[in-house]
Amino acid sequence: MTVRAGFALCLVAVTLVVGCAGDDQGAPGDQGTQDSSGAVGPAPVIVATTSILGDVTANIVGDAGRVEILIPAGVDPHDFQLSASEGERLRGADLVIANGLGLEESLDDVIGQLESEGTEVVLAGDALTGLVSIDGVGDPHFWQDPLLMHQAVTTIADKLAVIDPDRADGYRARAQAYSAELDTVHREVSALYASIPSAERLLVTTHAAFGALAQRYGFEIVGVVIPGGSTLASANAGSLADLVEVIEDRGVRAIFGESLGSTELAATVADEVGRDVEIVELYSDALGEPPSSAATYLGLVRANAELIVAALTRP
């Protein structure tokens, strides 16, 4: 059987399964206690669509409000389906923070409707400059570059200051402190990546989720198992056979899968290469669940760097 025909059979047999239901935490309500800034009155309720944005936003909000996460850690935002009760949570929020750029594919119409109804919304990715593109549009996976997240932090803090001016100074101060942490983690992972010889900085990933990382830290993405920026896309036998050739020709050492999805197709590709190719799972579209080292956004950035360096510098 040819490699191309073998992949055709594999594609029929392999089904990628990811979670798609979030935790139902009920409708948000107001808090009326005094926070550490001395402000008194109803504290805002903020709903962030993803676990990554929820963690970042919580660092900006501190004890000045309540941050809820719509799509919990370990759940793929590309594949999330909104329940009726979760829709009510969004409508009851003082501010909704979404990634935008097509990441939360099933929520685009809902978020547009919320805005038309007067709900305050931040689309964090839409305000960024310096994005890489996928098929001519902005790559939604901007958080793989902590300096792009730096821009998003400023956008979120500015919006919070507008909707809750009594606590504006606190939001901006915490955003500044968190941005300093982003700068620190950027320096840390830059030093880690510097240990990889330039000729070995080749990435093959399961879907196009690491363009921002590659652009920032000097990697070349030489192929993807599933084309495009969504985990809902599908591969074909011809593209997988071509990917095997690229891996063989370029001397690629690892295929980087993702913690949210199956690595079966990646393993099938690796098996067709005439030498050892490691399969390594990175954190792509969501935080890891506790006690994972990637249970926070800063932890995710560090964890991915450590995993990539270990795979590309192994003997």
Place of tokens 């900085």: 201
pLDDT of residue 314: 93
Query: For residue 14, what pLDDT band results from cuts at 50, 70 and 90?
Result: very low
**What are residue 287's phi and psi, to 5 degrees?**
-65, 160
Asked if the domains 45-189 and 196-313 are classified in one and the same CATH topology, the answer is yes
Query: For residue 40, what pLDDT band results from cuts at 50, 70 and 90?
Result: low
Q: Which of 192, 181, 199 is nearest to 307 (CA)?
A: 192
What DSSP line would sit under 225-263, residue for residue?
Answer: SS-SS-TT----HHHHHHHHHHHHHHT--EEEEETTS--
Q: Is 292 buried (19+), middle (13-18) or exposed (0-12) by CB count in 10 A?
A: middle
Tens digit of pLDDT for each residue in 267-297?
999 999 989 999 999 999 999 999 999 999 9
Tens digit of pLDDT for each residue in 231-256?
545 678 888 999 999 999 999 999 99
- Residues composing the chain: 315
Tens digit of pLDDT for each residue in 115-145?
999 999 999 999 899 999 988 889 999 999 9
Over 50: is that where the pLDDT of 46 sits? yes
Domain boundary assignment for the chain: 45-189, 196-313
**3-state SS class at 174:** helix
CATH code 3.40.50.1980 for 45-189: yes
CA distance 55 to 90: 17
Contact (Cβ atoms closer than 8 angstroms) between residue 183 and residue 297 = no
Min mean pLDDT across 29-38, 97-106, 162-171, 302-311 is at 29-38
Buried b / exposed e along 181-205 (16+ C-beta atoms within 10 A): ebeebbeebeebbeebeeeeebbbb
Percent of the chain with pLDDT over 90: 75
- Residue-averaged pLDDT of the chain: 88
pLDDT of residue 78: 84
Q: Is 119 buried (19+), middle (13-18) or exposed (0-12) by CB count in 10 A?
A: middle
CATH of domain 196-313: 3.40.50.1980
Q: What is the pTM of this model?
A: 0.87
Mean pLDDT of 182-208: 97
Between 24 and 161, the higher pLDDT residue = 161
pLDDT of residue 41: 76
